[in-house]
Structure 1
Amino acid sequence: MAKAKKTQKVKEEETEEEEVLPVPSILNPGSPLLESYTYHSPLPTAPGPYILGVDEAGRGPVLGPMVYGVAYCPVAYKDDLDKLGFADSKTLTAGVRSNLLNILGSDPENLGWSVRVLCPQAISAGMLRRPPTNLNQQSQAATVHLIQEVLKAGLELSEVYVDALGNTTTYQAYLSKIFPRIEFTVTQKADSKFKIVGAASVAAKVTRDACVEGWVFAETLPSKYGSKLEEDKPSWSVELGSGYPSDPKTKAWVKNSLEPTFGFPSLARFSWTTIKVELEKDGHSVEWIDDGQKALMQAFKSETGRDQRRCKVAKDLGIKSVGTL
């Protein structure tokens, strides 16, 4: 009987541990993510200076947003922070991460956090524009943006710890040049070395997971014009897996979610090779035709003979080289 009670108690503790709490950084639950945004918790009121940690979640997945997180507390609070249980979010269960985010918001005098949510469309648009804004550049921009926002809010930052992005020395010098009054430490596995980065890791990971798990497909929402074809719109599976290209569930989603003519919904990062390969393999080929393009090209085509190297537009307007007047 005693053993049965002990087993029941363990199960209750496990259930309580895995309870997932509401995520305040999801600004519009039940609405599609159409653009990137920034969320800030209430600003801590304890006197500074402050330390700040930076980490991200969702850099590698082919599905969903990438989220950059920062957490901050007074330098004098570091010993208390070490006792709260923050660590690399990848080593924690979803329930533990959820509880830790709740702890991060439970002491508004000393603890604060912010996230920058980069939507999939913005990530891909940046990577495909000319010249491209690659993922490292987008990550750097998100980091700088969050630090600037915290400074603008009135907090004095003396130390910032950043999980490595590419060459640690180069990135540390880049950040130090932008913020010369702050001492930066950029290192590999900073989320396991510094509790403040672990806190940032939790904020980023919980936010991204909530975004993906609660994803609303904008493509299935009713048209503002009341289209009669709405019932023909495809409905996509919510069995997304982790979003990483190697995940079998994610592979299955990518394979089964392609609409041959219109491609993938905005959940997919269309600049990723995984998506490009699927489009090239099973998508309909498209030939773009501009009725006026041929005439325009003909107008600027070079002439021959006496009018050689003069396009028809110049000839029709009577434009001559200064050297022939």
Structure 2
Amino acid sequence: MPDFSLERELGHDKGRIVIGLDEAGRGPWAGPVVAAAAWLDPAALDAALAEGLDDSKKLSAKRRSDLFAILSDPACACARIAVGEASVEEIDRLNILQASLLAMQRAATALAAALDSAPEAALVDGNKLPQLACEARAVIKGDSRSLSIAAASVVAKVTRDRAMAALARDYPGYGWERNQGYGTAEHRAGLARLGVTPLHRRSFRPIRDALESKSLT
């Protein structure tokens, strides 16, 4: 289970502002990539957060929603969060990795504004680092090791899932409210039936293939 070990290594227990960063939505065929930044106060950490936070993919949708409600509550003294995203256009122009790093950078900047103080160190899920104005450490499987990254993981996942459910109302027939834009059979069938939308990532092979197939008919 994640804990504060990595945060302590970066001086979290000595007053340094250490944040966690993670993203959601690198693999889907449609929609933006969303990143989140999270700062947790171990001295005031809510018991439900301490016991429940983990890699968002390991948690049920209800558990993620419950944790998100605590993390996003303005009255919660133990956490501050922020999100950033990169658009479909940026994904296609930069590639999905660089767009994900850009979204993380934006989330970190937004969190600095929310904290009224610049983060002094960041723990970043994965093996690549965004451009940040502070010390940063990449942590493979960080959402299973760091509570700050786990919090960011939950925020990014819930934020993006809700955004895709809202976009599904504008573009029905692809099942985004259920598949979040991933390449499921339902999504593939929607592409074949309805075609490519402005929110599909044209740099992804299945979408390129769908466009080429349409051009040949």
Please classify the TM superposition score into its range, dividing by the shorter chain length.
0.7 to 0.9
Residue 156 to residue 275, structure 1, CA distance change in 2 (3 Å)? closer
In 1, Cα distance between equivalents of 2:67 and 2:26: 22
Which of 87, 91, 98 is the aligned partner of 2:58?
A: 91
Q: In the TM superposition, what is the alpha-carbon distance from 1:206 to its structure 2 partner?
A: 0.5
For 1:255 and 1:211, the matched residues in 2 are separated by 23
Structure 2: gaps of 5 or more residues: 1-14
Does residue 1:210 correspond to 2:147, yes or no?
A: no
Aligned mates of 2:209, 2:182 — CA distance in 1: 15
Q: 1:239 to 1:149 in 2, by over 3 A?
A: closer
Match of 1:149 among 85, 88, 110: 110
Report what 2:89 is aligned to.
121
Q: Which moved more, 1:79-88 or 1:270-279?
A: 79-88
Q: Which moved more, 1:248-257 or 1:184-193?
A: 248-257
Return the alpha-carbon distance in structure 2 between the equivalents of residues 146 and 236 of structure 1: 29
Corresponding residue SS for 1:59: coil
> Offset of 1:108 from its aligned partner?
3.0
Q: Distance between the aligned counterparts of 2:194 and 2:51, measured in 1? A: 42
| Structure in which a larger fraction of residues adopt helix | 2
* C-alpha displacement of 1:256: 1.7
Give the superposed CA RMSD: 2.6
From the superposition, tell whether residues 204 and 86 of structure 1 become closer, same or farther in structure 2 (CA, over 3 Å). same
Gaps (5+ residues) in structure 1?
A: 1-47, 127-132, 219-234, 259-263, 286-325
Partner of 2:193: 256
Q: Note closer, same or farther for the CA distance 1:82–1:103 as it changes in structure 2 (3 Å cut).
A: closer
Q: CA deviation at 1:161?
A: 1.0
Aligned-partner SS, 1:60: coil
- Tell me the equivalent position of 2:152: 200
Larger Rg: 1
Shift of 1:71: 1.0
Task: Name 1:320's counterpart in structure 2.
Answer: none
Residue pair 2:21, 2:125 contacting (<8 A) in 1 also: yes
Q: CA deviation at 1:62?
A: 0.3
Post-superposition shift, 1:78? Answer: 6.3
Contact 1:69 1:115 in 2 (8 A): yes
